[in-house]
Structure formats: structure tokens, C-alpha cells
Structure 1
Amino acid sequence: MDKEASPALGCTEPMMFALAGAITRKHAPGKVLRVDMVGCGLMVTGVQAVGIPNTGGKTGAFLASAVGIVNGDAEACKEVLHNIRPEDVVAAEELIQNAEFTLDMDNSTGKQVYFKLTLTTDEHVATVIFEDEHHTWTYLEADGKVLVDNRKPAGEMLIPANDIDWDVFTIENIYNWCKTADISEFGRAKEAVEMNTKVATDGLENPRGIQTARILRKNVESGFVAEDEITHVLMWGTAGPDARMGGSDYPTMVSTASGNQGLMVVMAPWASAQYRKMSAEDGYRAVAFALLMNTFMKYASKEYVYMPPTCSCATTAAPAAAAGVAFLHGLTPQQINDMLCTAQVQMAGVVCDGAKPSCATRMYVALFGSLQAMMMAKEGIRATNVEGFVHNDLKVTLENLYRLQHDVLHNKVDAILWDIVKEQKVIH
């Protein structure tokens, strides 16, 4: 849990672009002439529509990299944007006008996360390459001198699941640990609740993103939607993604490199515990269970753990969040297995078309469906192994869906998406 839950400021794509800008700027002072960027499909599309923290909700690859160059804190890594001021945004926009910025897609590396930025000034040239994870740079060069080179051969993937003992990392063992471990073990869950509550509150109090949660609350207040536990869970589960996609200035506790996933898997079970007036300890245990179940399902996707062709917010985070609610409702490990299999078949094949404000609405739909799967499991009803991708065991179901990603969707969805982005002339 500690490995895959960590703080980050802003969506991972603009964060990475800004971090690349900040790193190269340290090695290339002088007047900026060019900023050339290339990345895999979901990197170059995902950066287009999400708000950049501390910019007033502004968007785009050019601005994200430019604010990193102007005043990004490379030492802060995933919180590189923490000290961006209004005057930095103005300077970054002037930089975009006065220098040449380019962006293109490259899927040839086979990496699910790949990004390269070259900064050229009137005095120096610096290049940084990120691979496998949004905050991990594996190559750094300045004026032709290689400073760092930890690149892996093309096609060699980062697969954290290879280090997992799947006989130990099971739903039942995760469940039992979250039920019985000493409360002192749940410090990261407590930190996640404190951090992500601020982001979700931002999404409810301010018109961030697509305002999924605010609109839901408005309709509760008008009497159109019932004020019940499911509505409470949906509202708090989506308020954070609204805020984050809209450029919230608050850091987020991420889950498997995704802030949106971290927000939903933390806030949905916490909202359930709060609604039912359960203890903070009960809430922290449920949050930990949801975080670990998201990791369980993401790890089963092998090399797609951090950037899959399918939408993990819908296919893993929403079911994991609902599993945290189920944990509070007393469902057994077998019932949770069953509900997660049903939740998987609901969203199987939903592709990732880049980070964007409407991610929050998709997550709303997926969380609602996952809560329905929970209610079905309580009654002994589930999707069975004669229904599409589903197997009676969740792990096998996830392996079936991995085949869909690897054999059908890999490097195809994002290539089509990039063509659409270019056709619509929205690259910025």
C-alpha cells in the first residue's frame, strides 16, 4: 500500500511535462529557442484537456512544460508545480509565444509510459526521457554528454506483478489483514483521507472540471435525487476527480500512479463510513482495503499497470472503491470476488481516451454500476463464467481482460485518438 499510494500535485501528464521542463532547464540555461516533445499516445493526448495546478485551470502540453521551465521545482518531483505563481504563468505564456514548441506521438518504444523533451537555448541543449512511470526519468543528456542512462531495451516492460506472490496477495488475505492488523498499520490510509478530502471539498465548493458532483448535489437539494448513502458515496467519490481534472491546487494521494483512482478509492468508502456514522478506524480499514484491491486489479494487468489502453478509472478504481464500501457492509471475501467480477463485465472494453474533465462522469457511471454489483452479490447474484470475459474467479477474469488489452487494443486506441486530436487542431 505504501508503494502504490503517494502524494502528487495535479494530473500525472501535466506533472510529467512540467517535471521534464524543470529538469532540462537546470542543464540548459540561457534564452529558450525550442522545446521539442514526443511521447506515447496517452501521454500526448492526456495532457491536452486537464487543468494545470496553480495556473487557474489552464491546460496544454506547451503550458505545462513552459511553467516547469520557468519555475518548476525538479527536486519536488511529483509536486513540481507546487510553487508556480501567477507571474510564472504569464512568463510561461510569453515563452510559448517567443520560442518554438512542438509535440508529436511515438509508440515505437513499446512502453506504456514514454516521454522525451529536448530543451534548446542559445547556449545549451538538454534532453530528458521518462519511461514506465510518470515520475521516473531514465535518460538525461546535456550538450551531448550523457548524465544518466538507465533505459531498458525497447519492448522490456516494467511489470510490478512479477514481484508479487499471488498465493499470498489474495482477496481473502487482503480482507483479513485489513480486518485484523493493528490500527498503527493504517497511517497511509489516514493520510490519504486527510489529503483527498481537501481535493474533494474543492470539487464540491468550486466549479471545477465538468462538475459531476456539484450537479448531483444540486439535484439532491432540489429533490430530484434522493439523499441516501449511494448518492453520498457517488458525490464524494466523484468530487475529487472533478477538482483534479479542473486543475485543483491541492495535492492528491494517488493509487498506482493515478490521482483520479486514488481520489475515488479513498473517498467512496470514507463517505460510506461517514454516512453510516462508523468510527474513523472502520473508515481507515475500508480505505486501505479499497487501495489494496485497486492495486490487486491493476497488477493483474501486467505491463499495463500504470497506463493501460482501457480506462482503469472505470474498470478497476470504481470497482475497488465499491469493494471498500462492501467491506463496511460486511460482505465476505467471496461476495467481494463475485461483485468485482460483475463490475468487470459491466465496463469491459471501455477504452482510455486520455485524461480529461469528463473522466469524472465516466467514474460516476462505473461506481454506480459497481455499487449495484455489490447489492447483487449480497443476494447471491453475479455475472457467471458463461458471460463474455467473466470467470468465476476475479484473477482469471482480469487475465482474460489483459488479453483484450494486449491482443486487440495495444497501440491502436491511442494512435487513432492522436489522429483525431490532430484533425480537430486542438494540440497546444
Structure 2
Amino acid sequence: MNTQNQYTLKDILKLEVAPALGCTEPAAVALATAAASSLLDAGRITSIQLWLSANIYKNAFAVAIPGTDGATGIDLAAALGHTGGDATQRLQVLAPVTGDHITAARELIASGSVEVNLLKEAPTIYIKAAVSTAEHTATATIEHTHDNITELTLDDKPLAEHPLLASISDSKSSLAELEDFLRTQTFEQLITLVETMDEEDFEFIRQGVEYNLKLARHGLSFGPGLGIGKTLDRLVREGLIKKDMIQAARILTSAACDARMSGAKLPAMSSAGSGNHGLTAILPIWAVKNYINETSDHEALKAVALSHLVTGYIKSHTGRLSAVCGCSIAAGAGASAAITYLMGGNLNHIASAIKNLICDLAGCICDGAKASCAFKLATAAGSAVQSALFSLHGINVKESDGIIALSPEQTIKNTGELSTQGMIETDRTILKIMIEKTLTD
């Protein structure tokens, strides 16, 4: 924690960028049940009960769980957290899961032991898991961020000290203060932070690139999920579309999303608490760098760092989860700013790129995490490149247009107001439609 309320690039990366296995919402559900289960001695589980905020419910509803051959379900994520999860691995909690764990989880669900409850009035990120045996009940509560365990109880008695509380909650305790700090920054100050990168920062950013490239390679090799990335690649091979900078970004980013949303057991490097944000913030930059003359990996890694900063900056205004697709608005804008920076654009060009992208994608809604997110990531990646190229050629959406303002900072504030205030009812309607579908199936 920086007592002077000033954050270095390293501070921000530590708080905003981390590996996540599978979609972060079912991972968070599994983390809660794994944490609660870790407080109990070996014994037959009689029940697992969950209470989830609307946005957690929405995003965990239909997305595949890693290592399960594409299986979905909040109840399955919860049961797997108990049968095979390791809470000390945070958002990679499901990494140890094997076929035996999956079988045991399905048996728990079939016995009616797993209950999922939707809390319509709760903080944006809220999960409470209660795991019971015949003798004891343990609970774990996650709030504010996907791996922030704020409370552990055993038989209704809070545990004041526990390694999970210390290693997870403490590491995230300054996130609200970080967001307060980010909201005060200008884009010039964010770029200045990037110029302070040291070798440790470069290595961390490179690790994130490698994580996300592995997901993209998996998607291109096997075409999982909807296979958007592999289909775009095949269209190029068939000569039906041309692979330029925009298509390269779309292919790489959507292929990674195909893999992740289908449950590939490969971690993504997340950004601002989301794996798909991480794919969008990183992969378009890596896709276009080979199209830019005399561009080194070193320069591209600096651009990726800027993308993470811009993504976090925008999420500090829009909120962690909302009715607005953050992959499009936040990570897409981050990637566009970074591509402009990588291509030698100045501060005005970067500002224009961000405004161009927000003008293009401001209406993109989030209707939960699922295979078809690959469509949105393809769109965001393509628009990120296009917005950067347009800015470098003088296109700059005027402040008279809709929610766009004179500065990118005010434009993002407007976007945040739209997201946090203007689309509350939209979010409720999306969830209502999703729930009604399950009742009629």
C-alpha cells in the first residue's frame, strides 16, 4: 500500500493483472466453496448453499468450466470447488481438478445437495458459500473483487485470522483506493507511468502475452466453442477475406476467447479482474506488431502495459461488472490507445483513438459470459485497430456527438455514468430474460 496515495506501475499491475483459469465468475464461485470447505475436517457433505449477486449470477450462468469438456453450471462450479478446488491458488482454484473430482461433483448435484440463490439486491460482486457436514457449517464470503475473501466463519464464528484472509483480502485491500487514484489521472500521466517500466515489469507483461497466446493457439488448432477465430482464419485461407492488421487482431483475440469460453484448461492473464478483458487488452497489440516497421518486442510490451493501465482507468469509472460489455469499451479502448502508441502516435492521437472506439462500441451490452463472447471480442479487437488507424489519419469524433466529450477523460466519465446509472434497468432486464429461458427450456 502506498501511504502517499501515489501508485507506481508495479503497484497497479499487481492489483489489476493476474492469471485466471477459466471465466472469473465461476472461478470465484469455486473459490468461495473451496475456501469454506478447507475449514472443515474430512466428512460427508450434506449441502452446499450459494448466495450470488446478479452480475456474478449472470456471468457464471452459461460459460464452460475448465477441464469439464464444455460443461456449464453455477452448481457445477460450486461443487468442483469443494471436490477438487485449491483456494490458495485464487482464480486458478480449479487447476487441480481431475475426472474423479468432476464425477464426485456431479454426484453431489444429482443428490440435490447444491443450492444456488440469486440476491437481487447485493453489491456488484458478492458471493457467499456455506458448506455443511452433519456436524459443522463453514462459510466464505467474497466481495468487491473476484478473489477478495472478506469473511470466513466456522459454525457462525468469524475467523479473525486465517491464511486465506491474509493472502487474498490484504492483497486487494487497496483496490478501492487504486481506483480513486486512477480516476484522478490524465492520459499523459498514464503514459508517463509506462516509461518507468523495469525488467521485472517487462517479464511480467511478457508472461501475460504468453498465457494469452497459448489460448489463441489452442483456439486456432481445435476451433472450440463457436470457433470464431478458426473460422476467420479459414476464410482467409480460402481467399474470401484478406488478412490485414484488423483481421489479424480479430483472429487472434477471438480464437483465444473461443478456447477460454469453451473451458480449455489454460490460464488467461486477466486485466481489471476479467480474463476476457485481458485477452482484448493484450492480443490485438501482439497481432499488429509485425505489421509495423521496426517494432521490437520491447516496444510492444510497453504498449501492452499502457493497455492494462487504460483498461483499469476506464473500469474505475464503469465498475467491475455492469450491463456494458467491458471487453468492448474498456479493454477495447485500452488496446486502441496502445496500438496508437505503438505506431508512434502522440497524446492527441491516443485521445482520438479512445474516443473513436467508444463512439463505435458504446452500445455493446454484456449479457453474460458464454461462447458467443468471441463475437464481441472479435468486434472489439477489430475496432481497436481501426480506431487507432483512423486517429493517426486525423479522424477524431467531435464533442457534439452523443456521449463523446472534448477530452477522452470526460468521455470516459460520461461512459461511466451511462454504465453505472443509465443501464441499471437494462442489466435487470437481461438477467430476467436469461432466467426466463431456463424456466421454459
| TM beyond 0.5 | yes
Match of 2:347 in 1: 333
Match of 1:201 in 2: 217
Correspondences of 1:129-208 after superposition (within 5 Å)? 129-148=141-160, 159-161=176-178, 163-164=180-181, 169-178=185-194, 181=197, 185-208=201-224
Matches of 1:184 and 1:133, distance apart in 2: 25
Match of 1:61 in 2: 74
Read off the aligned partner of 1:212 and give its amino acid letter.
I
Matches of 1:162 and 1:6, distance apart in 2: 17
Matches of 2:183 and 2:68, distance apart in 1: 43
Which of 116, 126, 135 is equivalent to 2:138?
126
Matched, 1:282 2:299: yes
Matches of 1:143 and 1:427, distance apart in 2: 38
Q: Give the secondary structure class of the aligned counterpart of 2:268.
A: strand
Which of 107, 120, 133 is equivalent to 2:120?
107
User: How many residues align structurally?
Assistant: 417
Matches of 2:199 and 2:135, distance apart in 1: 55
CA RMSD after TM alignment: 2.4
Q: Give the secondary structure class of the aligned counterpart of 2:210.
A: helix
Match of 1:348 in 2: 362
User: Could you tell me the percent identity over the aligned residues?
Assistant: 29
Instruction: Tell me the CA shift for residue 426 of structure 1.
Output: 6.6
Match of 2:428 in 1: 415
Matches of 1:427 and 1:318, distance apart in 2: 35
8 A Cα contact 1:161 1:300, kept in partner:
no
Match of 1:396 in 2: 410
Q: Do the aligned partners of residues 36 and 236 (structure 1) sit closer, same or farther apart at CA in structure 2, a change above 3 Å counting?
A: same
Correspondences of 1:13-412 after superposition (within 5 Å)? 13-28=25-40, 29-109=42-122, 111-148=123-160, 159-161=176-178, 163-164=180-181, 169-178=185-194, 181=197, 185-276=201-292, 278-301=295-318, 304=319, 306-410=320-424, 412=425
Q: Give the secondary structure class of the aligned counterpart of 2:323.
A: coil
Read off the aligned partner of 1:141 and give its amino acid letter.
T
Instruction: Tell me the CA shift for residue 175 of structure 1.
Output: 2.8
Greater shift, 112-121 or 25-34, is seen at 25-34
Matches of 1:17 and 1:184, distance apart in 2: 32
TM-score, normalised to structure 2, is 0.88
Matches of 2:292 and 2:399, distance apart in 1: 34
Read off the aligned partner of 1:121 and give its amino acid letter.
T
Q: Give the secondary structure class of the aligned counterpart of 2:130.
A: strand
Instruction: Tell me the CA shift for residue 125 of structure 1.
Output: 1.3
Q: Do the aligned partners of residues 334 and 426 (structure 1) sit closer, same or farther apart at CA in structure 2, a change above 3 Å counting?
A: farther
8 A Cα contact 1:253 1:262, kept in partner:
yes
Q: Deviations over 1:60-104 (max 9, x none)?
A: 111111111111111111111111111111111111112332222
TM-score, normalised to structure 1, is 0.91
Read off the aligned partner of 2:145 and give its amino acid letter.
E
8 A Cα contact 1:261 1:317, kept in partner:
yes
Q: Do the aligned partners of residues 136 and 183 (structure 1) sit closer, same or farther apart at CA in structure 2, a change above 3 Å counting?
A: closer
8 A Cα contact 1:51 1:245, kept in partner:
yes
Structure 2 unaligned regions, length at least 5: 1-12
Instruction: Tell me the CA shift for residue 163 of structure 1.
Output: 4.1
Matches of 2:199 and 2:345, distance apart in 1: 21
8 A Cα contact 2:336 2:357, kept in partner:
no
Structure 1 unaligned regions, length at least 5: none
Q: Do the aligned partners of residues 180 and 405 (structure 1) sit closer, same or farther apart at CA in structure 2, a change above 3 Å counting?
A: closer
Instruction: Tell me the CA shift for residue 165 of structure 1.
Output: 6.3
8 A Cα contact 2:15 2:175, kept in partner:
no
Q: Do the aligned partners of residues 418 and 181 (structure 1) sit closer, same or farther apart at CA in structure 2, a change above 3 Å counting?
A: closer
Read off the aligned partner of 2:362 and give its amino acid letter.
A
Which of 4, 11, 14 is equivalent to 1:2?
14
8 A Cα contact 1:129 1:140, kept in partner:
yes
Greater shift, 401-410 or 11-20, is seen at 401-410
